[in-house]
Amino acid sequence: MKSMRRIKLFAAFMLTLHVLLMGRLLQLQLVQVESYSKKKINLLEKSVKQRTQQFVIDSGRGQFLDANNQPLSYSERYVLVLFPFIQFDDQALAKLSSNIPMDLTTLQKTLKETKQPVKLTQLSLNEHQVKEINNLRLDGVFVVKEKIVKDTPLATQFIGITGENQQLFDQRYPSKSLNPLQPIGQTGLQKMFDELLLSEGNEKLMYHVDAFGRPLFGLDVKYSSPNNSFFPLNIKTTIDGDLQQELENYIDTTSLISGGILLLDIENSELKAVVSRPKITNNDPFSNPGIENLMFTQLTPGSVFKTVIAAAAIENLLVNDQETFDCDKNIYGEIEVEKMQFGQLNFKESFTKSCNAAFGELAVRLTRQNPKLIARYAEKLGVVGGVGWKGDFFHNHNYSQLEEDIGQIYTTTGTDNESVHKQTGIGQLDVQVTPLAIANMMATIARGGERFMVNGVSEVQYQNGSQFYSFDTKHLEGETISPYTAMKLQELLRSVVKSKQGTAHALSELPYEVAGKTGTAEVEIRNGTPYYHKWFAGYFPFDKPKYALVVVNTNTTYSGESAHQLFADTVNILKSRENLLYNQ
């Protein structure tokens, strides 16, 4: 009896175990095939992957183009891909070697005992060779046009970088059923347009193998892609790729360590070149200051900010042509023997020679009339508040194209102190503006006071090249300066270069008539040595403005690379590309 009972218990146990195992098998093969466990593992994909060899042609992420539809963030090349099983076909290898610049012995050594597809990157194939190889119709031999994402693309900080971050992916896209381990935008345009650039899957060549790594009978190499000719989207920027390359090559020949060049097309309010240094360090970009786009970062402007003070003083009738200022003194009324003495100067001469005493005094007058007057004119000229394109786009109602700082005039403390206003008047202390905003200010003045948002992207394109969305030129909302004030500022900016006493008279011999303003902002003292931001911001040609240009050399000593020289060299580069200017 006891033995029978044990048999029954054992049978019941085995039956229960069998039912549990069958249930588990049903769960794995029928119920949770595509979303197994809390981690949502796709068992079908894992199974296929286990017996699949593949070569990824393209990650599927959208890319960036310049204004002429040429790639900025990648390059393209023909690459020869060989799958492992061809190593056993001597006849096929012999045919192949006779059509490529690689002898049979080297080819055999390259493929010996490999179990993964081999990419022969050392070969540079032309169109004729590609045609000849394709005509051979050899199994396991493919020539593909591969997109090579550049380690350091043009306008690196402007375009931005990508990286894997599953937590951030889940935060941004909680409802998207895409691979959360794919790279996503971390900075720049990569970040601002990330949702449109996401990959829906790799473009790849693949084949299935048995347990020993040999191709399964009857199966050839297959081409696989998301089969979507529209997505991901590509971003067409306003950048002139050739000019960007030329300016990047140029700036790397100078002694500039930190700073850059920003060129803005005045008519269309489009960025044509954005160069920021130092460069990004690819192996650890976030630990290096090169990750920052200094052209969109707020910096102390120094005397460039006197343009804002001049505009406010002109429109509020706080200065006239007869009044003079004692420019032998500094903003505190003290004579500085080591500084150049100018004597009594009128308003125009004070701007031309960049007299600190005059603009310190004007800043005090402005704040006495209205403590918010300087900040109001900074807003009118667009040097605070942001100037990049904003508006309705995709499913966003206040979308921003550009990742930019918005600038500031005052902090929350000290605004009732007269010395604070004087330092503000010469662009020191709390004043912070971006080179982007200063370039747009120069464009606004050149246009007679008309304000536009700055475009860095002209359109978003489908994969097939057709247009998904076009960014039109938009007016920058809010107040602006009067046409009369703009005209007076044009005269002042031109006098800085044209006058023999002007702080930028060295630029008077350039091939185009330039109007602009210098700025030398003292930012810190290290071991007794002062360090500066050196600026020159202006526009040209004066009579028919085409470009606004800002150059800045940041955190440099007095003997560091001259902003005048950077500006002059950039203008001369543009002159050598004169077809960009009116097709002369």
Active site residues: 303
Contacts of 63 (CB under 8 A, 6+ apart): 71, 72, 73, 74, 147, 149, 197, 234, 235
Rg (CA), the chain: 32
Helix (H) or strand (E) holding 350: helix 347-353
- Contact (Cβ atoms closer than 8 angstroms) between residue 207 and residue 53: yes
CA pair distance 511, 571, nearest whole angstrom? 8
CA pair distance 529, 540, nearest whole angstrom? 35
CA pair distance 322, 347, nearest whole angstrom? 8
Give the residue ranges of DSSP H helices in 31-89: 43-50
Give the residue ranges of DSSP H helices in 29-124: 43-50, 90-97, 104-111
Q: Which residue is associated with the tokens 């042609």?
A: 57
- Contact (Cβ atoms closer than 8 angstroms) between residue 309 and residue 366: yes
Q: How far is CA 59 from CA 49, 203, 223, 504, in A?
A: 17, 7, 14, 50
Question: Any idea how long the chain is?
Answer: 584
CA pair distance 385, 380, nearest whole angstrom? 10
